[in-house]
Structures are given as structure tokens and as C-alpha cells.
Structure 1
């Protein structure tokens, strides 16, 4: 079984990060408002990025890491721009 970390783009332009073991169902739950919370007041949402992981712990760790990132770093991840992610990480450390 695969587990996923994902980023949604909300209708207000904000990003939401989460994790799940059923990506299709989870996105449908967000879209319908069934989950409540952050996304329910920011519908519709659009899946911008997802990655599969072998364990729930790894997917959850990725979600927590992404939630700690700023908007520019999330955009770089969505674009697959690893150089930009590295550059942004160095800037924060300095």
C-alpha cells in the first residue's frame, strides 16, 4: 500500500499540505467539504503536487516538513525545481 503527501491550491490562493493512503478519495473529500477544517472555506481546491511514500510515517513527515515551508519553497517543490529549494533552504539557514 502506498501513502501520499500532497499540496492543494485553495481558491484563495493559499496552499494546504496533507497526507493520505487514498489520494483520489481524499481530494474528493476536500472538494465536497466533508473534511471541514482549513479547506472547507477555501473551495474549490486543486491538487498541485503529490508524492508517494512506502510508509504512513514518511508521508506524514513530508507533510509536516512542507507545512513548515514558505510559499516560495512550496512553489519550487510543485515545479520540481530542486535547485531553488536548495537555494531557499540555504537562505533560511544564513
Structure 2
């Protein structure tokens, strides 16, 4: 089952990063005040981007990396200037 990393714009202009299997349902939960404390306080406006990942562990690793970015770097990711793959550790290849 795929998991998604998503970025939400909040009413104060800040960005929230999260993971879910169903981004639309998770965004609806944020809108109803049943999401993260961060979005309850800052009122989510819209989903700016979502990225499909292979599974939960990959999504959580990506979330950790994206949350360490500053707002400008997150906006570059949303705009496609920066890729999600560039943030993730690359698997080691064995040389024979």
C-alpha cells in the first residue's frame, strides 16, 4: 500500500508536513480539527503537494528530511525546483 508525504499551507502562511495513506481524508481531518495540533492552531487552507512513497517507513524517513528544511526549501520542493529524491539517502550500490 502506498503512503504519501504531503505539505499543507496554513492560514498564517506556514507549511505543515505530514504522512498518510489517503491525503484527501487526512486533509479533511485537519479541516475538522482532528488533525495535528499544529493545524488546529493555524487552520489548514490547502494541500500544496503530495509525493507517493513505497511504504510507511519510506514516508516517515521522507517526512523527517522535509521537516528539517526551511520554508524556502520546502517551497522549492513544492515548485519542483528541488526533488524529494535529492533529500533522501540513496541506496548503496555494490561494486563487483
TM-score by length of 2: 0.81
1:56 Cα offset (Å): 0.5
Matched-pair contact (CA < 8 Å) for 1:8–1:17: yes
Aligned residue for 1:35, secondary structure, equals coil
| Structure number having the greater helix percentage | 1
Equivalent residue, structure 1, for 2:43 = 43
1:82 Cα offset (Å): 2.7
Computing the radius of gyration over CA atoms, which structure comes out larger, 1 or 2? 2
Measure the CA separation in 1 of the matches of 2:66 and 2:74: 7
* Consecutive unaligned residues in structure 2, runs of 5 or more: 87-96
TM-score by length of 1: 0.83
Equivalent residue, structure 2, for 1:16 = 16
Equivalent residue, structure 2, for 1:64 = 64
- Give the CA RMSD over aligned residues: 1.6
